[in-house]
Amino acid sequence: MNELSPIVSPRLDHCPATLPATVYADAEWYAREMATVFARNWICVGRLADFALGTMRRVQEGAADVIVCRTAEGGISAFHNTCRHRGSELCRDAVEPLGKLIRCPYHAFAYAANDGRLVATGHAVPTADFDRAEHGLLSVALRIWAGFVFLNTDESPRNLVADVGLYVLDHWPMDALVTGHVWQTEIACNWKVFWENYSECLHCPGIHPELCDRVPIYGQGIMAASEALHWDGALPAGNLKPGAESWTPTGAACGPSFALLTEDERAAGYQFVTFWPTAYVVAHVDHVRSVRVVPVSPTRTALGVEWHFAPETLAQPGFDAAEVAEFAKIVLRQDGEAAEMNQRGMMSPAYRGGTLMPEEYEIHRLHQWLIHEMEVAR
């Protein structure tokens, strides 16, 4: 490797074992993941702009049913969806109107929507030993990053972190972007299988012909030049094939390029930002895509995929956000089919676990992270 190179090859220097096959279907293991990994980490639940004023919305964070409250004035807060009186759910539908109070539909206990404090006890008349201040709603930590809403049910939540840092998208107008297209799908695989597929490109030449044409390095079965076996330290000027600007069906930008991007950011063509275990964001020169990974059961995973655009891009005559999204959908459908194929194969009674290759360093890191998260929560 060139001694002047600022990047060290991430390739593994050994071939470690994978996780055992049982963790991809076992109900007890899955329940532990929900109670540890998904309870302790920040979970992305959507864009702030998509939480309508004057509403409360139910979202799932691991095993927890949570309500996100957006007041008419624009304030946002989150609480566990359980009344402090006798535990009834507070919000019964996916989305309900919200005024200044959250009122329990069972016994009419009422709580302030902004901070969850107990305001009224309906027809109940508490005795002197009842301290209203001790019976407010159970709050959930909330953080907004780049226009996305993240929740954390841990009592002492850690800082929100991403694999490449929270400031890598500072040159993209993230807060101003508008969701132009939404696609939801469910795939028959464990949530870890989807993340493992996302974390390597050994599968790319055989699974993603269109993507390998758009991003030639993927056709070599690697995600970046630094993964090559005999990498000499040289880095390419860009990732996309000559003439391509973005991940659109034609490769051309779907609208004006974001004005504040540097030349290096434009040349790169895209920037991935990953938040385990919940979501990743892909920023292109003309739009941004977000993918939320939502476990449904030990063997099923929902994906919430959204495409975000500048308002002036959406306002272009004849602009079709769904058409722009089609290229990424091709890739995601292929990934889904590959993940389902992998899940089915791992369910063979003969398969007990596999072996990672040096190029699958990110999967190894994911496995180590997962085990650590589950152990520290004991």
The answer to pTM > 0.85 is: yes
The Cα-based distances of 127 to 84, 85, 88, 119, 327 in angstroms read 16, 14, 22, 16, 63
Question: Does residue 370 belong to any structural domain of this protein?
Answer: yes
Q: Tell me the pLDDT of the chain (378 aa) as tens digits.
A: 344 446 789 999 999 999 999 999 999 999 999 999 999 999 999 999 999 999 999 999 989 999 999 999 999 999 999 999 999 999 999 999 999 999 999 999 999 999 999 999 999 999 999 999 999 999 999 999 999 999 999 999 999 999 999 999 999 999 999 999 999 999 999 999 999 999 999 999 999 999 999 999 999 999 999 999 989 888 888 999 999 999 999 999 999 999 999 999 999 999 999 999 999 999 999 999 999 999 999 999 999 999 999 999 999 999 999 999 999 999 999 999 999 999 999 999 999 999 999 999 999 999 999 999 998 766
Question: Does residue 123 belong to any structural domain of this protein?
Answer: yes
Same domain, 151 and 212: no
Q: How many CB atoms lie within 10 A of CB 367?
A: 20
Same domain, 187 and 273: yes
Question: Does residue 378 belong to any structural domain of this protein?
Answer: yes
Q: Answer for the pair 364, 346: CB distance below 8 angstroms, yes or no.
A: no
Q: How many CB atoms lie within 10 A of CB 32?
A: 15
Question: Does residue 34 belong to any structural domain of this protein?
Answer: no
C-alpha to C-alpha distance for 38 and 154, rounded to whole angstroms: 9
Same domain, 78 and 5: no
Same domain, 265 and 186: yes
Same domain, 337 and 193: yes
pLDDT at residue 7 in the model: 77
User: CA-based diameter of the chain, in Å?
Assistant: 77
Distance of CA 261 to the CA centre of its chain: 24
Question: Does residue 28 belong to any structural domain of this protein?
Answer: no
Same domain, 146 and 193: no
Q: Answer for the pair 365, 12: CB distance below 8 angstroms, yes or no.
A: no
Pairing of strands 55-61, 95-97: antiparallel
Same domain, 350 and 298: yes
Q: Which two tokens mark 220?
A: 């070599």
Q: What is the DSSP string of 83-132?
A: -TTT---S--SSEEE--SEEE-TTT-EEEETTT--EEEETT----TT--G
Q: Which of 134, 160, 186 is the last residue of a domain?
A: 160
Q: What CATH number should be reported for the domain holding residue 276?
A: 3.90.380.10
